[in-house]
Structure 1
Amino acid sequence: MLKEIVLKADVLSSGISKGTPVFLNSETICKDNKISKKDSQKEIVKFEKAIKKSTKQILEIKKSLANDSLSITFDILNTHLEILNDPIIVNEVICKIKEENKCIYTILKDIISDYKSKIKDPFFKAKVLDIEDVFKRIMTNIGAIKIDILKKMKSKSILISNEIIPSDIFESDDTHISAFISSSTSYESHSAIIARSKNIPFLTNVDIEKLKSLDFKDMIVDAKLGKVIINPSIKTFETYELLVKNTKDTLPKIKLKKNINIFANVSNQKEIEKLKSKNISGIGLLRTELLFFNNKKLPTIDEQFSVYKKIAKNLENQICIIRLFDLGGDKNFYNLDTSNNFFGSRGAEFLLKNPNILKDQITAIIKASALGNFQILIPFVKDLSEIRQIKKIALDIQARLKIPSNIKIGSMIETPIAALMADQIAHEVDFLSIGTNDLSRYTFASENISSKRLHLGMIKLFKMIIQAAKDFEKPLYLCGEILASKSILNKFIELGLSNFSVGLKQTDIFK
């Protein structure tokens, strides 16, 4: 019988988990080698192709993770896209290939090594980790390194590596990961933030080489007390089994006051099937650009109508707020925005530049409105003219179809300019919907926004929007994972909000 061993560790994400250890190793295929001046141009072409391939992969990952209601995943992937398109970083690599006559693998490795040796500030050190993560993806795409274990992991795997980076998480099936263990990861790192967001236990400051030398099959990760238990005894195993069961049975619920409505954010077709089992008032946000992410192109009118029909059947006349395709900018899922700009034209602006996409979707919604209580939500509004143009298009389509429909049209308030114009927007539409994730992100110009408290500046913006809705007697909804915090939810209720839309999984925490 193998002896039980306990190793101490630091906690990055709290929780308890058991599983089979999986060591993440990358196999280096490319050698550090010099190249001729003649071959340097070939290396540059390889590098540029790898950037395009990496960009495409990240956009695909964004699509596949889009049903994750946590904005941190999008923020990290957007940072990676910015790095891939950063002319300073790209030019530095190209210049070094030309000047030093070295292969891409060596150049990227040297640049990261140089950054790490020179940069000591914690904030910029975190940025270096992002660059290293992107470089690792590029090296994989040029065939310099090979990592194939991530997609082959079985259920209840404990991922172990010297450094866990976001791409390791994005490339794996997180339903198969029960915990992370690393030798050196900071609490503020993106991978630690993702782990906390997904409630995956994460321990660091563990001697990975020592772990590799031990003979074991199973382990328990106690990320509450900071322990890795190798070869747990029957007694230890039973103790932790009971502890995990009791933890699940006593998960805190948020008790709601009367007249408070909880709606669901729906992002994929699997979630549609689960609607009947949830105690919700309807769908507060149907992310239509994500419903069809397995498609290589945007869905036809008939394909959209089919999904809306299914929703109507499952909701039984409850409200379903359909957000028009929120595409473009950092949500360029179908590669339709050719501006190559992080901001680009997104939401309402993108739809008006692509009228066929807009008209097809509105047509499908109006056809489906005869079957259910559907409402249209205009995304990423930045100007009143966008609302007026889309309303006119909807009226024209309704007249052409000769379908009697009093379908309501609302506006997302998710940009600072929309918040400042909330009173004028409220006058134009039937309802308002606050998107807390983007509104906070663009107001702070930051990815790192506290989910535990509301900033005074944000409270001012929220008060303006709430007052505008009251003045024009328009329903107001609020969407975002920030609502999982009881204190923040109560603060919004104090401010006068009563309609909240959260991820489908989060609806279970309310009673």
Structure 2
Amino acid sequence: SASVRITHRGGLHARPAALVRKTAQGFSSQSQLHFAGKSASCASLIGLMGLGIGEQDEVQVTCLGKDCDAALQALVAALSVTTHEHEQAPVIVTARPLNTEAGVLQGVCAAPGLVCGPLLRLHTIELPQDPGNHMREEQLQHLDSALEQVRGEIRNTLEHARQRKAVEEEEIFAAHLALLEDPTLLEAATAAIEHGSAATHAWRDAIQAQCAVLLGLGKPLFAERANDLRDLQQRVLRALLGEAWQFQMPAGAIVVAHELTPSDLLQLSAQNAAGICMAEGGATSHVAILARGKGMPCVVALGSAVLEVPQGQRVVLDAGNGRLELTPDDARHAQVHQIREAQQQRRQQQQAQAQAAASTLDGVGIEVAANVASSSEAQIALANGADGVGLLRTEFLFVDRRTAPDEQEQRQAYQAVLDAMGDKSVIIRTIDVGGDKQLDYLPLPAEANPVLGLRGIRMAQVRPELLDQQLRALLQVCPLQRCRILLPMVSEVDELLHIRQRLDQLCAELELTQRPELGVMIEVPAAALMAEQLAEHADFLSIGTNDLSQYTLAMDRDHAGLAARVDALHPALLRLIAQTCIGAAKHGRWVGVCGALASDPLATPVLVGLGVRELSVSPPQIAEIKDRVRHLDAAQCRQLSQGLLDLSSARAVRQACQHHWPLS
């Protein structure tokens, strides 16, 4: 047995509990978790969630069996890491604003967008009273068949998510699959059938009992996970009743419901719903995450009044501002159509110019590259007009497996990315694990502050063979001059010099006459402050604004209450970016930005003005950022950006940017 402190953000809810269950399944030993006088098997997702374990709670884990030592070590590692969220996923505060405007319901933005259309209200399946005394074997067979049908549907969803590299979607439905196989749930439904219940009612009652447990914990995040159980309730009931998920949906419908489920969202997206709005729900719900990924406007927490709006009534959903306009006049409808048509036309124009290089009006060239995590994403980036890869996250090779990839597998993966990019350069970041990204086969000691511990280049101190193997693989790609190596989490010059020396040694061993360019990520304040010294020995610098923001502002970017304030346009961040560019220029080095700020068109003129010459963005935004660059005057950007360094807050900077360089 062992004690461990839970560092998963929000506690042991569905996705981290699924990680614990998956880890336990890899061993023959029986494992249990103990907390506050209660215990649950690590094989039961519902049992684990039902313990109500919160962030920073201390729990006991026990293992019994032949491989109990290995199981215990793996479970401690799984319990003491922080689940990663998508690097650029927005986190939205979920407090419902007061409704002060007539004819408008105010909620919370879960996914931005502006649409108008008729309302379509969705209802959940309601069962009639169960007369009881059903044939036990027949009902058990019905339930088994329905469960297998839904499992098959979820496996298909998972496969499509994997192919599209939709990590969050994959995690959500992997948790659903684990819930569907949960012994607690299945035993409750089976017991009810044994006592004469119909399979439909037995399944509904088993789900509702577990929902009540989660709702009774009094924790919002766990209450939202009850919605995942309700999703499975509806899916299995449809299978039992032989009902397909199909609604006669008018063109451009805005769907309203008490609370939609993840599978509802996928189906509505497939049927081209224009937008969705819910009476309940929160911005940390799985539906909200999926809506953002699908680009579907979504407002949650509108209150029960939204369910009373007549079916078919034409409304305007201004999701970015959390508004549902119930009685828009013809002029407002025309305005919304005009705005949407203008946006669509602008996107088409931008896409038509996406392959061309981007220069400012006064001739300053800005390279617009892409952040990718695989060769398939690199192909998409090239098709979208990327000038190269500005950040290849190599973690995709190391996660979700029991052993590290060998040198040959790594070399082939890196070569595939270079091949996918034609004749363009590829910047490959060395493995950045530790902190919030853990590997099952690389157990690290539990840390009170993981993001301040062993992560990035610091891993080379404790596992130098991992980095050596990766560097050897990188040195064997062809042509080597198109490969640039980027080192994460560097905080002092000696770290860079050590890796440079090791790289030179490996080049000599492999009898190479040239060494690829070696760059440093500027993501800790120390690196920004030492940029001039680092640039003396590095070939380029790349600013990771996501981590630089949280380390500079001392605010966890995954903290729901602070996330809105972790803004890389804060004057302190801009000063660090300016200092980095000045330091690099003294040695003739170029500076890029590969964090989320590079993808923000409002920030483009500021970054250009401060001296950034490469922006690495998410592939869908390449055309928009290139278009933004082409409308800027670099000299004016330089002049105006200096004034932004003296402003009082990120909000003030954003207002000034809107004034100086309005987004059309």
User: Under TM normalisation by the shorter chain, which class is it?
Assistant: 0.5 to 0.7
Match of 1:222 among 317, 324, 345: 317
After superposition, the Cα gap between the structure-2 partners of 1:363 and 1:499, relative to the gap in structure 1 and judged at 3 Å, is same
Q: Name the aligned partner's letter for residue 611 of structure 2.
A: G
Q: Name the aligned partner's letter for residue 593 of structure 2.
A: L
Correspondence list, 1:346-365, <5 A: 346-365=455-474
Q: Name the aligned partner's letter for residue 551 of structure 2.
A: Y
- Whether contact under 8 Å (2:543, 2:592) holds in the other structure is yes
Which residue of 1 is the match for residue 373 of structure 2?
267
Q: What secondary structure does 1:250 align onto?
A: helix
Match of 1:183 among 260, 265, 279: 279
Correspondence list, 1:492-503, <5 A: 492-503=607-618
Q: What secondary structure does 1:367 align onto?
A: coil
Query: Alpha-carbon deviations, 1:427-476, whole Å to 9, x = none?
Result: 33221110011111222214224688721111221122112111222221
- Whether contact under 8 Å (1:183, 1:206) holds in the other structure is yes
Confirm whether residue 411 of structure 1 aligns to residue 520 of structure 2. yes
Give the C-alpha shift of residue 154 in structure 1.
9.1
Confirm whether residue 479 of structure 1 aligns to residue 575 of structure 2. no
Confirm whether residue 248 of structure 1 aligns to residue 363 of structure 2. no
Confirm whether residue 384 of structure 1 aligns to residue 480 of structure 2. no
Confirm whether residue 395 of structure 1 aligns to residue 504 of structure 2. yes
CA distance in 2, matches of 1:452, 1:356: 37
Which residue of 1 is the match for residue 113 of structure 2?
14
- Whether contact under 8 Å (2:549, 2:566) holds in the other structure is no
Give the C-alpha shift of residue 250 in structure 1.
3.1
Q: What secondary structure does 2:495 align onto?
A: helix
Is the deviation greater in 268-277 or in 201-210? 201-210
Confirm whether residue 431 of structure 1 aligns to residue 540 of structure 2. yes
CA distance in 1, matches of 2:213, 2:398: 39
Give the C-alpha shift of residue 241 in structure 1.
8.8
CA distance in 1, matches of 2:164, 2:569: 25
Give TM-score, length-normalised by structure 1.
Answer: 0.64
CA distance in 1, matches of 2:121, 2:409: 41
After superposition, the Cα gap between the structure-2 partners of 1:211 and 1:307, relative to the gap in structure 1 and judged at 3 Å, is same
Aligned residues: 412
- Whether contact under 8 Å (2:392, 2:427) holds in the other structure is yes
Query: Alpha-carbon deviations, 1:361-401, whole Å to 9, x = none?
Result: 11111000435510110112234343233223322222222
Confirm whether residue 286 of structure 1 aligns to residue 392 of structure 2. yes
Which residue of 2 is the match for residue 505 of structure 1?
620
- Whether contact under 8 Å (2:550, 2:566) holds in the other structure is no
Query: Alpha-carbon deviations, 1:333-355, whole Å to 9, x = none?
Result: 54624323333411111233222
Which residue of 2 is the match for residue 316 of structure 1?
422
Match of 1:129 among 217, 220, 241: 220
Confirm whether residue 468 of structure 1 aligns to residue 468 of structure 2. no
- Whether contact under 8 Å (1:367, 1:403) holds in the other structure is no
Q: Which runs of 5+ in 1 are unaligned?
A: 1-6, 28-59, 78-102, 113-127, 230-236
Please identify the structure whose Cα radius of gyration is greater. Answer: 2
- Whether contact under 8 Å (2:590, 2:612) holds in the other structure is no
Q: What secondary structure does 1:437 align onto?
A: helix
CA distance in 1, matches of 2:369, 2:480: 20
Q: What secondary structure does 1:425 align onto?
A: helix
Q: Name the aligned partner's letter for residue 358 of structure 1.
A: L
Q: Name the aligned partner's letter for residue 474 of structure 1.
A: R
Give TM-score, length-normalised by structure 2.
Answer: 0.51
CA distance in 1, matches of 2:593, 2:606: 13
After superposition, the Cα gap between the structure-2 partners of 1:244 and 1:407, relative to the gap in structure 1 and judged at 3 Å, is same
- Whether contact under 8 Å (2:386, 2:619) holds in the other structure is no
- Whether contact under 8 Å (2:117, 2:315) holds in the other structure is yes
CA distance in 2, matches of 1:270, 1:210: 42
Match of 1:340 among 446, 452, 456: 446
Query: Alpha-carbon deviations, 1:413-434, whole Å to 9, x = none?
Result: 1112222232332233221110
Correspondence list, 1:77-156, <5 A: 109-112=215-218, 129-130=220-221, 132-133=223-224, 136=226, 146=232, 149=235
- Whether contact under 8 Å (2:121, 2:307) holds in the other structure is no
Give the C-alpha shift of residue 186 in structure 1.
7.0
Q: Name the aligned partner's letter for residue 379 of structure 2.
A: E
Give the C-alpha shift of residue 307 in structure 1.
2.5
CA distance in 1, matches of 2:551, 2:267: 30
Query: Alpha-carbon deviations, 1:482-509, whole Å to 9, x = none?
Result: 2333331101111111111111111121
Q: What secondary structure does 1:459 align onto?
A: helix
Identity of aligned residues (%): 23
Q: What secondary structure does 2:432 align onto?
A: coil
Q: Which runs of 5+ in 2 are unaligned?
A: 1-102, 127-157, 173-208, 237-243, 328-332, 558-562, 628-664
- Whether contact under 8 Å (1:9, 1:203) holds in the other structure is no
Q: Name the aligned partner's letter for residue 299 of structure 1.
A: P
After superposition, the Cα gap between the structure-2 partners of 1:211 and 1:131, relative to the gap in structure 1 and judged at 3 Å, is closer
Which protein, 1 or 2, shows the higher relative CO under an 8 Å CA cutoff with sep ≥ 6?
A: 1
Is the deviation greater in 411-420 or in 247-256? 247-256
Give the C-alpha shift of residue 479 in structure 1.
1.2
Query: Alpha-carbon deviations, 1:208-260, whole Å to 9, x = none?
Result: 698599888x998733672579xxxxxxx999999855542234959751311
- Whether contact under 8 Å (1:22, 1:157) holds in the other structure is no
CA distance in 2, matches of 1:107, 1:488: 46
CA distance in 2, matches of 1:458, 1:106: 45
Query: Alpha-carbon deviations, 1:139-160, whole Å to 9, x = none?
Result: 96xxx9956759x989999786
Q: Name the aligned partner's letter for residue 433 of structure 1.
A: S
- Whether contact under 8 Å (2:113, 2:297) holds in the other structure is yes
- Whether contact under 8 Å (1:451, 1:482) holds in the other structure is no
CA distance in 2, matches of 1:332, 1:420: 29
Which residue of 2 is the match for residue 47 of structure 1?
none
Which residue of 1 is the match for residue 299 of structure 2?
203
